[in-house]
Structure 1
Amino acid sequence: MSHADRFLGRAGVYAAARPEYPAALGGWLGGLGLLAGRVADVGAGTGLFTRLLLAHGTGPGFAVDAVEPNPDMRARLEGSLEPEVAAGRLSVRAGTSEATGLPARSVSLITAAQAAHWFAPVPTLREFRRVLRPGGRILFVWNDWRGVQTPFNAAYREVVAGFSREDGELLSRVPESELPGFMPGGFEVRTFENPVRFTRERLHALAGSVSYLPAPDAPEFSAMTRRLDGAFERYGVDGQVTLTYCTHAFLGRLD
């Protein structure tokens, strides 16, 4: 199964449940002047991070090329952001980190949010060198609830561990020690708090959007959601629980 195929049939729950990204991250990028040129958002999924880029991008030279291999996610992204496509601020294309389909030296920033752990370093770096303009930057971002110590985070982790088909922790993001394979010129790190409120239904959808957990049409899905309901009932307040994420941002260079 290809990495893109792991998410076939999950675009709806992905768009409905996955956490957004903190506005402070967009403000930081804008303050550095990185959202005034053309941006390639690689592995854009349903467009959660694309929206942040569009919200903070400024100037006549700004636009986003959203690159996504999964056809379901690509269609949802394009449909939900149709006004931005019509305005010329967004284009959506099929592609991967190894073959974006973008012209050479066409973008000043490459971003990958919740996606770079699926990239093969050598061919990806080759493609980044091809499409980045001189002095261009690379940004990898992950929302990660692991490592945040709250009672509900611990309860959610227990459920995930019981139903994971693979080592989800290894699949969640690129270890910092391996980032030089994508950013050989070095990188800086920023973290942002990102607590997210979940209803029971959104929590179910969140679990269904995760590639290493049972999909919504899998036989094990109902057992998993029953376990989630138990955690929800223990920690929910006014019909919601808080799963606390930390947003990790790695901003690097090629040289």
Structure 2
Amino acid sequence: MTHPDRFLGRADVYASARPTYPPVLGGWLAGRDLLSGRVVDVGAGTGLFTGLLLAHGTGPAFSVDAVEPNPEMRGRLEAALAQEIVAGRLRVQGGTSEATSLAPASVSLVTAAQAAHWFAPAPTVQEFRRVLVPGGRVLLVWNDWRGVDTRFNAAYHDVVTAFSREDGERISRVPQQELPHLLPGGFEEKTFDNPVRFTRERLPALAGSVSYLPAPGDPQFAAMAGELDAAFAAHASGGHVTLTYRTHAYLGRLD
């Protein structure tokens, strides 16, 4: 797992501003009987997807291991899901996609939400094969507002492109044609609508949570926030704007 330090200093805005995942995705996983055993959520961040797994997991064998290399993110995850830790349904630990520290053949499902584009494919697949039980599955998930044609999506795109320090589209998720490197046994795709409302305060926090944009405290952050505020004023209705995401879920195998 590369560059875990890219999100140092961003945990607060990440937890407060990043979009969650549609409950229908959790229902789909539960309906496929994928949330009745032990799950590991790799690159769990502040626990946004971990929480969805916990909300839909059932049965005495169900539990989640959240693996996250960034200590600030882990701290936010532990605070947000403290009751699940106390209940014994959640364990939180440091680690990466290449070294989870889990026992061999110990999990039935590996998930990675908004994270797998940071993984080095070959050592990651080797590690996932090690920890999965025979027949275990891998789920890769991304929220992405790109490719959704709305006026505010276009306005947000214009602002963040002007302040991007890298090609944001290129590094935001694994291109579909490259997914076989992480899911060599094949995969199926499900897509879910995920419109997210943003207040005037939440919108710059969202941008500040993105690794290729100026972080809070960066000299360029105030300028970016000003441009986002102008976009908000031009498009707001009822005190919010809607950034329309699609949630892309890829469920696959390694063999």
Report the TM-score, using the length of structure 2 for normalisation: 0.99
SS in 2 for 1:250: strand
Question: 2: distance between equivalents of 1:7 and 1:24?
Answer: 28
Which residue in 2 is equivalent to 1:95? 95
SS in 2 for 1:200: coil
Which residue in 1 is equivalent to 2:42? 42
Question: 2: distance between equivalents of 1:212 and 1:3?
Answer: 12
SS in 1 for 2:143: strand
Opposite residue 52 of structure 2, the aligned amino acid is L
Opposite residue 246 of structure 1, the aligned amino acid is R
Which residue in 2 is equivalent to 1:145? 145
Which residue in 2 is equivalent to 1:160? 160
Q: Per-residue displacement from partner, 1:196-247 (whole Å, max 9, x unpaired)?
A: 0000110010000000000001000000011001110110011100000000
Question: 2: distance between equivalents of 1:179 and 1:127?
Answer: 17
Opposite residue 233 of structure 1, the aligned amino acid is A
Q: CA deviation at 1:82?
A: 0.9
Question: 1: distance between equivalents of 2:93 and 2:106?
Answer: 15
SS in 1 for 2:117: helix
Opposite residue 121 of structure 2, the aligned amino acid is P
Which residue in 2 is equivalent to 1:208? 208
Question: 1: distance between equivalents of 2:86 and 2:230?
Answer: 45
Q: CA deviation at 1:14?
A: 0.1
Q: Per-residue displacement from partner, 1:16-54 (whole Å, max 9, x unpaired)?
A: 000000000000000000000000000000000000000
Report the TM-score, using the length of structure 1 for normalisation: 0.99
Which residue in 2 is equivalent to 1:68? 68
Which residue in 2 is equivalent to 1:25? 25
Which residue in 2 is equivalent to 1:59? 59
Opposite residue 8 of structure 2, the aligned amino acid is L
SS in 2 for 1:137: strand
Question: 2: distance between equivalents of 1:133 and 1:88?
Answer: 21
**Which moved further from structure 2: 111-120 or 179-188?**
179-188
Number of residue equivalences:
254
Opposite residue 150 of structure 1, the aligned amino acid is T
Which residue in 2 is equivalent to 1:122? 122
Q: CA deviation at 1:5?
A: 0.6
Opposite residue 197 of structure 2, the aligned amino acid is R
Q: CA deviation at 1:80?
A: 1.3
Q: CA deviation at 1:4?
A: 1.1
Question: 2: distance between equivalents of 1:93 and 1:35?
Answer: 20
Q: Per-residue displacement from partner, 1:49-90 (whole Å, max 9, x unpaired)?
A: 000000000000000000000000001101111110011100
SS in 2 for 1:45: coil
Opposite residue 139 of structure 1, the aligned amino acid is L
**Structure 1 unaligned runs (5+)?**
none
**Structure 2 unaligned runs (5+)?**
none
Question: 1: distance between equivalents of 2:149 and 2:215?
Answer: 27
Opposite residue 169 of structure 2, the aligned amino acid is E
Which residue in 2 is equivalent to 1:251? 251
Question: 1: distance between equivalents of 2:203 and 2:12?
Answer: 13
Which residue in 1 is equivalent to 2:173? 173
Opposite residue 204 of structure 2, the aligned amino acid is H
Opposite residue 15 of structure 2, the aligned amino acid is A
Which residue in 2 is equivalent to 1:186? 186
Flag as ranges the 4+ runs of structure 1 deviating above 3 A.
none
Give me the CA root mean square deviation: 0.6
Confirm whether residue 14 of structure 1 aligns to residue 10 of structure 2. no
Which residue in 2 is equivalent to 1:78? 78
Q: CA deviation at 1:91?
A: 0.1
Which residue in 2 is equivalent to 1:108? 108
Opposite residue 60 of structure 1, the aligned amino acid is P
Identity within the alignment, %: 72
Question: 1: distance between equivalents of 2:189 and 2:223?
Answer: 38
